[in-house]
């Protein structure tokens, strides 16, 4: 027996399957409904069917033609179930089941949907605009607060990462209940908004960072440029000063002007003059012709002129020596006067004024006036003193552990004990025991000459000897080397190890020479050594240009060159190619072969007096690399000998 609920379920089922409205089933369904005794239920069922049908048309978006076709078919089915035309019309009328109504209803729904969509879109636009406004305000606030409240880029990226992680986690969440589903949906929306904001902030922060970097770079470039410009200007000026000084020193050191050479020349000329005078005296006796006598007189005149020129040079020499000594003395005195810290409070201009005052008040300042370009020389002296005393601005400060360790390694590596000593007159401080670079160069030279692995022999031998000599230290060094793998620290360790090898390496590699021994014909090369002049005598310096006074001048004592009096200035270039052996450190007593060809032009660097009184001089190559430590006495002998050779050369003039 059919009842209303069963038939209703069958109607629902019919529409839910969406398999189409099969006529046979519908007819049976209508028949069953029609047979219900309760008229009210019967009507409700048919109305329910029509309502479902209307909804289905809307849901399925059936076209007009489709609706017409379906209505016709439904009418046929209703008829087949036994309903009259009137009943059918009544059913359709009371449910307003017409094509127009159905289509209007669809249209209305579409409009409503569109309106909803439009409304939603408007809302989104409003939200978006509001968000943009909020962002703008936030950005402005951040700008106003100069970034103080703005999180830095790293923090922002961290926040974004967290959000993305949360988003991924939420998206992966399954089996949530309805409420959880809504919460998740809401949170995802929030995350979306927050992400958008964060991405914008990150973009701003990146731009800000980039701008900051560009500004810093621009600032740095500008500073570097200024520094470079200043450096170049200074370099140019310093080079000019150095050139000028070299010229003075050159004049002072010119071998043609050495007093001894001058005296030799004067003697030679004096003899020549006497010879000529004698010829003149003997002229009547020898019936010398007038023309021949005239020739002798001309020759005497020439000799006199040459003597006068030489004497003038001698005076010039003395003058230049006086200027040079005065320059150094004034510099020392003024710097000493200003050392009492009081100039620390001076501004640069005040310091310049003070240097100027002390210069002008110095008793030797008039000596500088003897120089042909006195004003320039004074300006250079003033600049020299000022540069030594003025404070210099620290342009940049940054941490550099690698260089710290290298620096400490250099200090530690200079010997078994630190022996710092200052270079007089300048700010440089050197190690009393030096040679790390010398050893390094030696090893390089050795490895170039012996690319067959003998370098390893040196190292092994060195390590072996070091182990015997400094077992505890080497143990520690090796321990550190094993434990600390960082490159900078290894630099330190290697530097220390190299330093301890310094001065001992030749001893360590017994029987081997490290520095390349060049056997060229260095003994035959032209000697260009520059020896210190012993100075012209007062007699020579004050001699007149009168030829008649020359006889007394020849009595002047020609001082011998005393090697012990020979000194060198820092940076002075000499030829030491005749010295074939040197030392890798000031304290080493094991000589090594030196590169004689390089020794043709080496620069004096510094002197060290050892506890036993022996003086060692260090020389550098022209490129700044170390050359060797040499016994001062030996160098002085060589330089004195060179001066003798120069004299011999001048005698042949």
Using CB under 8 A, list all residues that contact other proteins: 227-228, 230-231, 234, 335-336, 339, 344, 388-401, 403-404, 406-408, 410-412, 417-422, 424-431, 434, 436-437, 473, 476-477, 480, 483, 492, 496, 626
> Could you give the residue ranges of the DSSP H alpha helices within 61-152?
64-80, 85-94, 99-144
Please report how close the Cβ of residue 226 comes to other proteins at its closest, in angstroms: 10
Please report how close the Cβ of residue 425 comes to other proteins at its closest, in angstroms: 7
Residue number, 429 or 653, with CB nearest to other proteins: 429
Going by C-alpha positions, the residue among 226, 222, 171, 163 that lies closest to residue 197 is 163
**Is the sign of the CA dihedral 335, 337, 340, 344 positive or negative?**
negative
Residue number, 303 or 431, with CB nearest to other proteins: 431
SS (H, E, C) 317-361: HHHHHHHHHHHHHHHHHHHHHCCCCHHHHCCHHHHHHHHHHHHHH
| CA angle (72, 76, 82) in 5-degree steps | 145
Please report how close the Cβ of residue 482 comes to other proteins at its closest, in angstroms: 11
What three-state secondary structure class fits 422? strand
Residue number, 77 or 384, with CB nearest to other proteins: 384
Please report how close the Cβ of residue 523 comes to other proteins at its closest, in angstroms: 32
Please report how close the Cβ of residue 177 comes to other proteins at its closest, in angstroms: 60
d(CA 273, CA 35): 170
Please report how close the Cβ of residue 399 comes to other proteins at its closest, in angstroms: 5
Residue number, 457 or 469, with CB nearest to other proteins: 469
Residue number, 587 or 636, with CB nearest to other proteins: 587
Beta strands in 536-595 (DSSP E): 573-574, 581-582, 592-593
Please report how close the Cβ of residue 417 comes to other proteins at its closest, in angstroms: 8
Classify residue 245 as exposed, middle or buried by CB count within 10 Å of its CB (0-12, 13-18, 19+). middle
d(CA 266, CA 633): 31
Residue number, 97 or 500, with CB nearest to other proteins: 500
Rg (CA), the chain: 54
Residue number, 345 or 555, with CB nearest to other proteins: 345
Going by C-alpha positions, the residue among 195, 190, 189 that lies closest to residue 159 is 195
Residues 6+ apart with CB under 8 A from 501: 439, 462, 466, 508
Is the CB of residue 393 less than 8 Å from the CB of residue 257?
A: no
Please report how close the Cβ of residue 389 comes to other proteins at its closest, in angstroms: 7
Please report how close the Cβ of residue 628 comes to other proteins at its closest, in angstroms: 14
Residue number, 138 or 490, with CB nearest to other proteins: 490
d(CA 381, CA 359): 9
Is the CB of residue 570 less than 8 Å from the CB of residue 606?
A: yes
Residue number, 385 or 561, with CB nearest to other proteins: 385
């Amino acid at each position: 027996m059919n009842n209303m609920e069963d038939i209703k379920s069958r109607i629902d089922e019919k529409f839910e399957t969406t398999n189409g409205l099969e006529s046979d089933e519908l007819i049976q369904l209508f028949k069953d409904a029609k047979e219900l005794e309760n008229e009210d239920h019967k009507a409700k069922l048919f109305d329910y069917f029509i309502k479902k049908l209307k909804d289905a048309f809307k849901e399925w978006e059936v076209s007009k033609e489709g609706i017409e076709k379906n209505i016709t078919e439904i009418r046929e089915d209703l008829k087949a179930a036994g309903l009259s035309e009137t009943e059918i019309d009544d059913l359709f009328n009371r449910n307003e089941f017409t094509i127009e109504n159905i289509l209007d209803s669809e249209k209305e729904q579409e409009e409503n949907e569109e309106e909803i969509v439009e409304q939603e879109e408007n809302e989104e636009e409003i939200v978006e605009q509001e968000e943009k406004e909020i962002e703008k305000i936030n950005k402005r606030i951040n700008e106003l607060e100069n970034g103080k409240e703005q999180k830095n880029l790293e923090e922002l990226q961290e926040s974004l990462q967290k959000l993305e992680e949360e988003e991924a986690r939420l998206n992966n969440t399954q089996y949530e209940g309805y409420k959880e589903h809504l919460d998740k949906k809401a949170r995802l929306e929030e995350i979306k908004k927050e992400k958008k904001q964060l991405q914008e902030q990150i973009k701003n922060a990146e731009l800000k960072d980039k701008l900051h970097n560009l500004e810093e770079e621009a600032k740095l470039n500008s500073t570097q440029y200024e520094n470079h410009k200043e450096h170049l200007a200074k370099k140019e000026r310093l080079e000019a000063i150095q050139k000028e000084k070299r010229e003075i020193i050159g004049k002072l050191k010119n071998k043609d002007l050495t007093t001894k050479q001058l005296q030799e020349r004067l003697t030679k000329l004096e003899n020549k003059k006497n010879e000529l005078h004698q010829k003149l005296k003997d002229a009547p006796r020898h019936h010398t012709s007038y023309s021949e006598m005239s020739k002798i007189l001309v020759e005497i005149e020439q000799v006199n002129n040459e003597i006068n020129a030489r004497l003038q040079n001698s005076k010039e020499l003395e003058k230049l020596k006086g200027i040079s000594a005065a320059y150094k003395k004034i510099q020392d005195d003024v710097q000493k006067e200003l050392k009492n810290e009081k100039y620390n409070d001076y501004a640069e201009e005040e310091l310049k004024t003070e240097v100027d005052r002390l210069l002008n008040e110095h008793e030797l300042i008039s000596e500088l006036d003897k120089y042909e370009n006195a004003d320039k020389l004074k300006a250079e002296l003033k600049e020299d003193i000022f540069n030594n005393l003025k404070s210099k601005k620290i342009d940049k400060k940054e941490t550099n552990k690698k260089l710290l360790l290298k620096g400490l390694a250099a200090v530690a590596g200079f010997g078994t004990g630190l022996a710092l000593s200052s270079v007089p007159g300048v700010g440089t401080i050197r190690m009393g025991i030096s040679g790390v670079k010398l050893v390094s160069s030696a090893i390089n030279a050795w490895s170039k000459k012996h690319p067959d692995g003998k370098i390893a022999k040196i190292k092994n031998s060195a390590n072996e000897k070091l182990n015997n000599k400094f077992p505890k230290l080497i143990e520690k060094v090796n321990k550190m080397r094993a434990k600390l793998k960082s490159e900078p620290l290894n630099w330190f360790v290697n530097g220390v190890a190299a330093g301890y090898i310094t001065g001992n390496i030749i001893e360590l590699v017994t029987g081997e020479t490290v520095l390349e021994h060049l056997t060229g014909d260095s003994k035959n090369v032209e000697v260009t050594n520059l020896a210190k002049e012993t100075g012209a005598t007062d007699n020579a310096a004050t001699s007149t240009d009168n030829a008649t006074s020359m006889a007394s001048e020849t009595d002047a004592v020609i001082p011998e060159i005393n090697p012990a009096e020979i000194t060198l200035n820092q940076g002075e270039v000499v030829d030491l190619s005749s010295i074939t052996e040197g030392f890798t450190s000031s304290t080493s007593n094991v000589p090594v072969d030196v590169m004689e060809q390089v020794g043709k032009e080496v620069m004096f660097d510094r002197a060290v007096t050892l506890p036993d009184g022996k003086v060692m001089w260090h020389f550098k190559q022209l490129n700044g690399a170390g050359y060797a430590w040499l016994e001062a006495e030996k160098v002085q002998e060589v330089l004195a000998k060179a001066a003798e050779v120069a004299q011999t050369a001048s005698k042949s003039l």
